Structure 1
Amino acid sequence: MKHAALLILLMLATSSEIARADEPLSAVLNESVIKLPVTVKTIFNQVITKEMVVTQFKPNGEGPFPIAILMHGRSYKDRSKPGRERFLQATKYFVNRGFAVWVPTRLGYGDSGTEPDPEYSGTCSGKNYLAAYEVAATTTLDVMAYAKQQSYVDPGRIVVLGQSYGGMTAITVAAKNPAGLIAAINFAGGGGGNPETQPNEPCRPDLLKELFGLYGKTAKVPSLWIYTENDKYFGPVYPKQWFAEFQKLSSASQLAEYRAMPAFGDNGHFYFSRGFSTWRPVVDDFLRRQGIAIPHTPGSFQDSGFANINEPASLPVSSAELRERYVKFLELDVPRAFVLDAAGEFGGYAGGMPDALEKALAICQKRAQKECLAYAVDDKVVWKKMSSSEKQD
């Protein structure tokens, strides 16, 4: 306990505020950057102490805000880019749900420095995943300890989310059950993948399966696992095996949830960074079940069954321009609204704000010079099929 307290005091005393001149900080998201001293041990038992770049964001107000820690993956090409991770779309998602957010650029990446590489896990045939993920988990727990000391947070409500290498790191952290952790979200988690030289065949998937099983023995918090059917790093089969092993050995298997998403783009491994419009409702549902309030449009709106909300072709319009606007609408966070005039000739949309419906209606009515009605609100199509007389009126 004395060592842990000393570590926290050291982090608070030596964490220095920094900013990059070439990357303006977001005032809307109250963005700031610190350098956090961390110590890790490599697979070769080399002890490394360095400063890690961590970007932090928070909602307006005094809190207390729950904590979200977002973790990046591992490039097999150039670990120096980006210099500083921000995950702006995902960060906005969490800030809009009342979270204070921390995004570490771990040791071995970007401005934190690429050499030495603490997360190196060995050759393809001789992987030591256990030790490598211990490094990533250690730095994540250091960020968590620092975040807990901030006056504006709720240290009892923490969510960790990661992509690829960061996704498995989220499960590694979950297996340690740190105080305050309420959920872990794993997007395409794993390691050893290379879509160019060995598509769908990561290095030593058997060791990854074994490690996920080991984590399943101790993890006690709800976890959400999201993979796509065309992930060229890990393929569609291995992730399901990893999850099955995690569940098989878990005493809390009912807390883990696997979502196999359809093929996405040319490589579903990048679903987290490019598929916000379809993963957002999935993560919303998961977080809601963990007691996190999800923003929504005030009022009572029922799904009319008119169409699937993700199908622009179902819009009751002939205008290609309106369909293009609808595609943009689908990328917006909730609360959101898309509205049309009765003839389907004019429309408007807005999102990511409590008064999205009012703003969308005002945009449409200004163009149409007549009454406009909601087509979609949040994640529901509320439009009803109209008769010819209603359209004429």
Structure 2
Amino acid sequence: MGVLGLLLSPAAADPALPGLVREDRLISVTRSDGSEVKLETMIVRPDRPGRFPLVLLIHGTNPATGQAFRAAAARQSPVDLLNPAVAFAQHGYVVASIMRRGFGRSEGPFAEALSGPCDDRDYLAVGRIAAEDVTGAVATLRGEPWVEPDRVLLMGHSTGGFAVTAAAASNPAGVIGVLNFEGAHSSVPGRACSPDHLMADAGIFGRTARIPALWIYSENDQSAPPALARRMFAAYVASGASAQLQVLPPFGVDGHAMLPMGPADIWWPAVENFLTRLRLPTSLVVELPPPAAIPAPTPLNAACTMYFDAYVKAWTDIKAYAWNREGHCSSITSTQRTVDDAKTEAMRQCVAAWKECSLYAVGQTLAPG
């Protein structure tokens, strides 16, 4: 067992991603009290020798509540952020998508339970707990032979965006930039509890953060709406942090899914400008063949047309698209560990919303029948 810990799958060229190497590991990170915990990690990097800038990807939190939450957290996977991982690896980065404690196959009890009623939630404590996993992973991965240890980006989605913002407050060694995608906490599905606390916490993080950051949100984000993002951002920069905010056009019916579900060309131009300012790579070094074309079902409403385009472009075969003849849909591209799970979840969501549905596509092919 080396620095990265237990091997889940060996490093190997991925036939679905020619020119890239993918491996799955449990990496060992050291916590502030000196104890160690192993975090499930997916690594994607160019299939060539040398060192590369590191992007550490940090996931969001499944919106399930009650007893269903723990099961949903266990089902989460580093592959949830495969699309952005591939986009960065194509541009010459090594990407590590980690699962925080209590998520996926990572060790440790779930440590991010929110305390207090909806109008008095304590986000600061859970942000700092999540940040401990982030900074621990950075310290471990900087020692790898394929990482440029002083060119590290933190990139988080949703609660992961909140986590990397919290981590930036301690200015971890080697980290030169932070990408916060739709960072917030939606402790009640569809809305944020205690938004004033989120704003205040952003200000607390901003007091000590000195790493340049880019905050990216979507106009139709239902969990982290732009109005909340602007308040948090204003508090962050007013405290002295260096950051920029960009609000992108709507994605589907809920822009909160933009990063995990949407194709990279939606958000890459904004990120590219940020990378250029940091003097980080922006040129394409691994050009992948386009995914096999799939004819779209008809009819499709506007949101489902966007989802279908994202479905076809998603760099995974563990995906399924369910549809009904009125043009409604459910697209699962990044939240399940097996094809059967993706099929089941696509149908479950579609039937729950639209009653009569059928599978239209599984993986990169049309479903039989």
Task: Tell whether the structures are fold-level matches, with TM greater than 0.5.
Answer: yes
RMSD across aligned positions (CA): 3.0
CA distance in 1, matches of 2:50, 2:3: 23
Identity of aligned residues (%): 28
**Residue deviations 1:123-145, cap 9 Å, x none?**
43442212211121111111111
Structure of larger gyration radius: 1
CA distance in 1, matches of 2:211, 2:129: 21
Residue 36 of structure 1 and its aligned partner are, at CA, apart by: 2.5
- Alpha-carbon spacing, 1:128–1:16, altered in 2? closer, same or farther (3 Å): same
Q: Say which SS state the counterpart of residue 61 (structure 1) adopts.
A: coil
- Alpha-carbon spacing, 1:145–1:112, altered in 2? closer, same or farther (3 Å): same
Given that residues 70 and 102 in structure 1 are in contact (C-alpha distance below 8 angstroms), is that contact kept between their aligned partners in structure 2?
yes
Q: Could you say which residue in structure 2 is the equivalent of 1:277?
A: 265
Given that residues 29 and 140 in structure 2 are in contact (C-alpha distance below 8 angstroms), is that contact kept between their aligned partners in structure 1?
no
Q: Could you say which residue in structure 1 is the equivalent of 2:207?
A: 217
Q: Could you say which residue in structure 2 is the equivalent of 1:136?
A: 130
Given that residues 36 and 51 in structure 1 are in contact (C-alpha distance below 8 angstroms), is that contact kept between their aligned partners in structure 2?
yes
Q: Could you say which residue in structure 2 is the equivalent of 1:30?
A: 21
CA distance in 2, matches of 1:291, 1:332: 28
Does 2:84 align with 1:94?
Answer: no
Q: Could you say which residue in structure 2 is the equivalent of 1:145?
A: 139
Q: Say which SS state the counterpart of residue 75 (structure 2) adopts.
A: coil
Residue 285 of structure 1 and its aligned partner are, at CA, apart by: 1.4
CA distance in 2, matches of 1:25, 1:215: 42
Does 2:282 align with 1:294?
Answer: yes
CA distance in 2, matches of 1:130, 1:159: 22
**Residue deviations 1:330-355, cap 9 Å, x none?**
9699xxxxxxxxxxxxxxxxxxxxxx
Given that residues 37 and 49 in structure 1 are in contact (C-alpha distance below 8 angstroms), is that contact kept between their aligned partners in structure 2?
yes
Quick one: which of 228, 237, 249 aligns to 1:262? 249
Q: Could you say which residue in structure 2 is the equivalent of 1:63?
A: 50
- Alpha-carbon spacing, 1:235–1:86, altered in 2? closer, same or farther (3 Å): closer
Given that residues 224 and 257 in structure 1 are in contact (C-alpha distance below 8 angstroms), is that contact kept between their aligned partners in structure 2?
yes
Instruction: For structure 2, list consecutive stretches of 5 or more residues without a partner in the other structure.
Output: 65-71, 286-305, 316-369
- Alpha-carbon spacing, 1:242–1:150, altered in 2? closer, same or farther (3 Å): same
Relative to the length of structure 1, the TM-score reads: 0.64
CA distance in 1, matches of 2:147, 2:31: 26
Given that residues 229 and 236 in structure 1 are in contact (C-alpha distance below 8 angstroms), is that contact kept between their aligned partners in structure 2?
yes
- Alpha-carbon spacing, 1:12–1:126, altered in 2? closer, same or farther (3 Å): farther
Does 2:75 align with 1:81?
Answer: yes
* Aligned residue identity for 1:131: A
Q: Could you say which residue in structure 1 is the equivalent of 2:111?
A: 118
Residue 274 of structure 1 and its aligned partner are, at CA, apart by: 2.9
What are the within-5 Å matches in structure 2 for residues 120-269 of structure 1?
120-123=113-116, 124-195=118-189, 199=190, 201-250=191-240, 252=241, 255-269=242-256
Given that residues 59 and 78 in structure 2 are in contact (C-alpha distance below 8 angstroms), is that contact kept between their aligned partners in structure 1?
no
Given that residues 237 and 243 in structure 2 are in contact (C-alpha distance below 8 angstroms), is that contact kept between their aligned partners in structure 1?
yes
What are the within-5 Å matches in structure 2 for residues 330-341 of structure 1?
none
Given that residues 58 and 161 in structure 2 are in contact (C-alpha distance below 8 angstroms), is that contact kept between their aligned partners in structure 1?
yes
Given that residues 137 and 172 in structure 1 are in contact (C-alpha distance below 8 angstroms), is that contact kept between their aligned partners in structure 2?
yes
* Aligned residue identity for 2:113: Y
Q: Could you say which residue in structure 2 is the equivalent of 1:321?
A: none
CA distance in 1, matches of 2:112, 2:156: 15
CA distance in 1, matches of 2:147, 2:112: 29
Given that residues 31 and 58 in structure 1 are in contact (C-alpha distance below 8 angstroms), is that contact kept between their aligned partners in structure 2?
yes
- Alpha-carbon spacing, 1:26–1:47, altered in 2? closer, same or farther (3 Å): farther
- Alpha-carbon spacing, 1:288–1:119, altered in 2? closer, same or farther (3 Å): same
- Alpha-carbon spacing, 1:31–1:280, altered in 2? closer, same or farther (3 Å): same
Quick one: which of 39, 61, 75 aligns to 1:52? 39
Residue 236 of structure 1 and its aligned partner are, at CA, apart by: 2.8
Residue 85 of structure 1 and its aligned partner are, at CA, apart by: 3.4
Residue 204 of structure 1 and its aligned partner are, at CA, apart by: 1.0
* Aligned residue identity for 1:215: F
Residue 190 of structure 1 and its aligned partner are, at CA, apart by: 0.7
Residue 180 of structure 1 and its aligned partner are, at CA, apart by: 1.3
Given that residues 156 and 180 in structure 1 are in contact (C-alpha distance below 8 angstroms), is that contact kept between their aligned partners in structure 2?
yes
* Aligned residue identity for 1:121: L
Given that residues 3 and 27 in structure 2 are in contact (C-alpha distance below 8 angstroms), is that contact kept between their aligned partners in structure 1?
no
Given that residues 277 and 331 in structure 1 are in contact (C-alpha distance below 8 angstroms), is that contact kept between their aligned partners in structure 2?
no
Given that residues 40 and 118 in structure 1 are in contact (C-alpha distance below 8 angstroms), is that contact kept between their aligned partners in structure 2?
no
- Alpha-carbon spacing, 1:13–1:157, altered in 2? closer, same or farther (3 Å): closer
CA distance in 2, matches of 1:98, 1:79: 31
Given that residues 178 and 213 in structure 2 are in contact (C-alpha distance below 8 angstroms), is that contact kept between their aligned partners in structure 1?
yes
CA distance in 1, matches of 2:112, 2:84: 24
What are the within-5 Å matches in structure 2 for residues 333-372 of structure 1?
none
Relative to the length of structure 2, the TM-score reads: 0.68
Q: Say which SS state the counterpart of residue 210 (structure 1) adopts.
A: helix
Point out 4+ residue stretches in structure 1 off by more than 6 angstroms: 24-27, 330-333
* Aligned residue identity for 1:249: S
Instruction: For structure 1, list consecutive stretches of 5 or more residues without a partner in the other structure.
Output: 1-10, 298-323, 334-393
Higher relative contact order (CA 8 A, sep 6+): 2
